Amino acid sequence: MKIKYLLGTIFAAVLVTSCNPTKYLAEGEKFYTGGDVVIHHDSMSQENKEAFETSLEESLLPKPNSKLLGVYYKVGLWNMGGGPDSTNNFIRKWLKRNGQEPVKLGDVNREYNENLLRGKMENLGFFNAQVSSDTLIKEKYASVRYDAYPGKIYRINKVVFDVDTMTNLGWRINYPSNRSLLKPGNNYNLDVILNERDRIDDDLKHNGFYYFSPDNILVEVDSTIGDHKVDMYVTVKPETPAKAREPQYIGNVYIFADYKETSSTNRRRIPRNTEKFDDKYYIVDPLKKHRKKVLANHIFMNPGDKYSRWNHNQTINHLVNLNAYKFVKNDFVDNPDSTNHLDVYYYLTPLPSRSIRLELIGKTAAVYNGTEVTANWTLRNAFKGFETLNLSVFGGYETQTGGNVNLNSSYIRYGAEVGITWPRLLSPWKWAPVRRYIPKTFLKAGYEFLNRRTAYTLNSMTLNYGYAWKENEQRDHNLTLAEIIYVQPRGISDEYRAQMDTVPTLRHIVDPQFSFGPNYVFTFTNTMDNHKKHTFYAKAGLNTSGNILGLIQGADYNSGKIKHIFGTPYSQFIKAEADMRHYLKLSANSTLASRLMIGTSYSYGNSRSLPYLKQYYTGGPNGLRAFRARSVGPGSSLPENIGEENFFADQTGDFKLEMNTEYRAKIAGMLHWAAFIDAGNVWLQNKDDNKPGGKLSSKFLSELAVGGGVGLRLDLDFLIVRTDFAIPFRVPYRPTNDRWVFKYIDIRDRDWRRDNLVFNLAIGYPF
């Protein structure tokens, strides 16, 4: 024990010594800790002043060395690699490559930074800004303080569009001028001026002016009018070429549908006898790999039309999102036979028609371990209309590697799914939600065999047919016209049957299930708008089964009139759910994320409750993180413990309420942390004698489970690895006056930690 303590002390001492940033500094050198900007402006609010200071500090050069929890860890790696030592050692080279050389005070050019800060302030309208600086030294450490005096800001007095409205170009720039980003009364801002040039250019590009450029716009600013105001004059530079002053029109459109990237290829060579399709497009497809009508539906550039950037981008987006082409390129070339006309060439390089992807996943949790393998075969452009055919075959197992074996300890599962997607809506009625995005029709069929070896086996079959389309960037729709789920249990063991007699809830898991009907899901999100302080995500869905058939047949579970299809009672229900999220950006590196989930249902006629696969549950890494998945509820009912390994029958219900709030902040680099509180539960529609307290009542709020904790996140851009440690705060199945459990928290107690401390390892954010 003493040896371990000694080794730990030595290791800690080496680590601390290595992270000393001044270790390899020469005599007289100072370690640079960064620059601080102090704004001197009496009329600016403290909040705006701090934000302004932070913005200016981000532009200072050089950047100080990276820190983690106050430690210059990258300098520590550089030091451990030998610092200035050039020894050609693999380990030392790796440490130095992943570390950072100390930034020294001598690397800082104060005059350059002063001019940089002054320029940034002038770009924001502080034309009389002044900056001074001073070096602050403490032993071997140094920082630089920059005192910034912005002065009074200049505002826009008037904006004049000084263009000839009798020309096509001038009329387009001037109308309607109220769309301008330059507004009288606003602060002068160079970024806004640049954005206004881009706005004018974008509008012109949508209206035919293909050769125009933002650089052709000149914004002259007169700051001599006094009273800290400026007049702005927007005009076109005299040297703007004649081509840029006139709109362009579409000439011939050539589409090379099977283009190969080879150096010997003549890109614009059109084979003889190539005829126009639909009197619009020359489609070059010698091997006839594509149906021309389908391809033409995704081309928005029509001969004779005025050039439009919108149509240009739409065509490219559609061709890319067909998921059939490796490269999509296009050229615009002056038509040799007509002035102000552009010939359009599309070069489409197909992806391989077939591909295979193999995925291997390892799983571990407590005493359980397992693996799963999936093989996915894809056939692109399956029927020459850009259809995608997918076939997936999967198999996996999970087994208990520790503790005492229980009935639910291991399983084997395998199955297959085949699906086809069409990039259009297959419907007897002609309807197209919006041409900006490609709508899709999907058909999927799947089979799964699940063998809980000492308990039961389940055969599951699914069939889905429907449509998916986008209304705009924020709104998605998914309409499944037919969703059929059929589950048939087999081979229920005597041991499991005995447990069903003791815990009737287990019977619901192996009930035959048959549900069919349409469902619809609507999704709204604006979380991609990073500049907004408040962003939202909302998802709402409606799911039904057997409603019309049950009414026709007069099905009535309560009176024993249970109707069957294929020898199996079918489900009759209406289910609605909503998932609403709000993200509040507190700063550039911190966010408060909140979620509210509501699920409700009504089972009637042929059903008394939702089928097992459709029921709600809570708990787990994406729900109530202080409780195990499916271990909470319904209501205040006590989870039924089976065996010595704390195996619980799944706790599910017909209603659900869940609320989550999480504070997220960046520590340094890829490392982030979070603190969270979760609350929620599920309830039953009807009273169940085996689940006392499980029925939804007016006391549902007093039955909420509450937990909280903290966690770390590793943000790798393409992947987020999440760890959460959580403990329960409120347990709904305890006595009514003793559900808050703060007084029982004892981190030092091993038994308490084993029963209450929950660790979750997951990929991605919980919401």
CA 749 remoteness from chain centre: 40
Q: Are strands 249-256 and 341-350 parallel, antiparallel or unpaired?
A: parallel
Tell me the torsion sign for CA atoms 77, 80, 83, 85. Answer: negative
Which residue's entry shows tokens 């591909």?
355
What DSSP string describes 225-293? SSTTEEEEEEEE-TT--TGGGS--EEEEEEEETT----TT--TTPPPTTPPEETTTEEEE-TT--S-HH
- Establish whether the linkage from the previous residue to 286 is cis, with ω within 30° of 0: no
3-state DSSP assignment of residue 718: coil
3-state helix, strand, coil in the chain (%, to 5): 20, 40, 40
Residue 450 vs residues 119, 569, 611: alpha-carbon distances, Å: 67, 21, 17
> Rounded to the nearest 5°, which phi and psi values hold at 412?
-125, 135
Banded model confidence at residue 7, pLDDT cuts 50, 70, 90: very low
> Rounded to the nearest 5°, which phi and psi values hold at 604?
-155, 180
* Rg of the chain on CA atoms, in Å: 34
Q: What is the pTM of this model?
A: 0.80
**Quick check: 409 pLDDT over 90?**
no
Give the tens place of pLDDT for each residue, 508-567: 888 888 999 999 999 999 998 888 899 999 999 999 999 888 888 888 888 889 998 888
Quote the Cα angle for 558-504-729, to 5°.
Answer: 110
Let me know how long the chain is: 767
Banded model confidence at residue 95, pLDDT cuts 50, 70, 90: confident
- Encode 88-104 in three state secondary structure: CCHHHHHHHHCCCCCCE
**What is the residue-averaged pLDDT of the chain?**
89
- Rounded CA gap, 420 and 416, in Å? 14
E strands, 10-96, in order: 31-39
- Rounded CA gap, 331 and 344, in Å? 6
Question: How much is the average pLDDT of 95-109?
Answer: 91
Q: Among the residues of 510-634, which ranges form H helices?
A: 547-553
Running DSSP on this structure, what letter comes out for residue 740? B
**Between these two residues, 4 and 401, which has the higher pLDDT value?**
401
**Quick check: 405 pLDDT over 60?**
no
Asked if 393 and 416 touch (Cβ cutoff 8 Å), the reply is: yes
- Residue in 394, 392, 355, 352 with CA at minimum distance from that of residue 373: 394
Long-range contacts of 113-117 (CB under 8 A, 24+ apart): 113/35, 113/60, 113/61, 113/144, 113/146, 114/146, 116/59, 116/60, 116/61, 117/37, 117/56, 117/59, 117/60, 117/146, 117/148
Long-range contacts of 277-280 (CB under 8 A, 24+ apart): 280/253
Asked if 484 and 462 touch (Cβ cutoff 8 Å), the reply is: yes
Q: What is the pLDDT of residue 3?
A: 52
Q: Which two structure tokens, joined as six digits, stand for 727?
A: 């403990």
- Rounded CA gap, 408 and 503, in Å? 14
Give the tens place of pLDDT for each residue, 316-358: 999 999 999 999 999 999 999 889 999 999 999 999 999 999 9
- Residue in 85, 84, 100 with CA at minimum distance from that of residue 19: 100
- Rounded CA gap, 345 and 347, in Å? 7
Asked if 622 and 766 touch (Cβ cutoff 8 Å), the reply is: yes
- Residue in 508, 528, 691 with CA at minimum distance from that of residue 613: 508
Asked if 369 and 363 touch (Cβ cutoff 8 Å), the reply is: yes
Give the tens place of pLDDT for each residue, 134-192: 999 999 999 999 999 999 999 999 999 999 988 999 999 987 767 899 999 999 999 99
DSSP count for the chain of H helices, then E strands: 13, 31
Above pLDDT 90, what percent of the chain? 65
- Rounded CA gap, 630 and 617, in Å? 5
